[in-house]
């Protein structure tokens, strides 16, 4: 593998590619701690925690992403990051605001959906138990 000054980074959501660029550095947080990765680092895979992902692009600008859990795979000069949810922001202050509104709203929607599903499952169980009762 040749020495390179940049690596190609793609940030994938379950339904689409959120972001892609040539980057000088990627900073992320895995289950075993935070790390920074440069283009010529060894290949590896890491399970990412919900955290802030920082990508330094080829021009030296820092790009901030709030990410949910996911997986980072580095192979050669290619880095693929797959996460459940992610948002991008210009700075850390606005990133915090976006995360609070977006992720908390989604978590509330998921809670409501889980409650509705539990009620539906309970109704199905009741109906099946009614079927087992003998007709008199």
Instruction: Report the alpha-carbon distance of residue 20 to residue 57 in Å, rounded.
Output: 10
Structural domains in the chain plus CATH codes: 7-91 (2.60.15.10)
Walk along the chain (136 residues) and give the pLDDT tens digit of each residue. Answer: 568 899 999 999 999 999 999 999 999 999 899 999 999 999 999 999 988 999 999 999 999 999 989 999 999 999 999 998 888 887 877 777 777 777 666 667 777 777 888 888 888 888 877 777 776 6
DSSP designation for 127: H
CA dihedral 55, 51, 44, 36 (to 10 degrees): 50
């Amino acid at each position: 593998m040749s020495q390179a000054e940049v690596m190609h980074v793609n940030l994938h959501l379950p339904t689409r590619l959120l972001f892609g660029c040539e980057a000088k550095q990627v900073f992320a947080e895995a289950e075993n701690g935070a790390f920074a990765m440069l283009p010529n680092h060894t290949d590896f895979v890491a399970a990412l925690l919900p955290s802030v992902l920082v990508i330094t692009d080829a021009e030296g600008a820092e790009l901030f992403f709030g990410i949910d859990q996911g997986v980072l795979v580095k192979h050669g000069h290619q880095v693929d990051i797959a996460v459940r949810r992610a948002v991008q922001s210009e700075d850390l202050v606005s990133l915090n605001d976006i995360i609070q509104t977006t992720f908390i709203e989604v978590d509330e929607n998921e809670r409501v959906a889980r409650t509705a599903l539990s009620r539906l499952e309970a109704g199905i169980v009741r109906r099946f138990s009614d079927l087992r009762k003998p007709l008199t």
